[in-house]
Structure 1
Amino acid sequence: MVIQTNMTSKAITEVWEETVEVFQKYNVPITEKSLQVLVTENTLQVLLTELNNVVGSSNTTCIEGG
């Protein structure tokens, strides 16, 4: 699974505890709001890249729809 903009920080940290540090680094609160609501567009892509690197996930490791 790739971490995506429609996911919430709370759900992400429940599955991947190691992402808490990334959210703290970018001052993103752990809530039930989606990342696209919590983070500006400029920061969002950087945040997603870092989160996916931390959990070892990328578009090449995942198939569409699965």
Structure 2
Amino acid sequence: MVIQSNMSPKSIVLVWESTKEVFNKYNIQLTDKTLESVVKEEILILLLAELNEEVGSTSTTCIEGG
């Protein structure tokens, strides 16, 4: 996965503009706070999966740590 929980919504949208629609769907403001600090854990898992799907990233396209 490219997009991770320690990233902020604002920085994600700056790199991948199309993710703005996903944040709107989940009613998440584009702040500088990390996703893990603004989204409940049970929603975070779904959100990360959807954000990464939006940008075309999966666990098979990226290796851990790089």
TM-score normalised by length of structure 1: 0.95
Question: Once superposed, what is the RMSD of the aligned Cα atoms?
Answer: 0.9
1:56 match: 56
| Alignment match, 2:4 | 4
Rounded to whole Å, the distance in 1 between the matches of 2:52 and 2:38 is 17
Amino acid in the other structure paired with 1:50: E
Q: Given residue 9 of structure 1, which amino acid in structure 2 is its aligned partner?
A: P
SS in 2 for 1:57: coil
TM-score between the two structures when normalised by the length of structure 2: 0.95
Q: Which amino acid aligns with 2:57?
A: S
Aligned length: 66
Query: By how many angstroms is 1:25 displaced?
Result: 0.3
Q: CA deviation at 1:34?
A: 0.2
Unaligned runs of 5+ in 1: none
- Please give the alpha-carbon distance, in whole angstroms, between the structure 2 residues aligned to 1:60 and 1:38: 27
Aligned to 1:41: 41
Point out where structure 2 has 5 or more consecutive residues left out of the alignment: none
Task: Flag as ranges the 4+ runs of structure 1 deviating above 6 A.
Answer: none
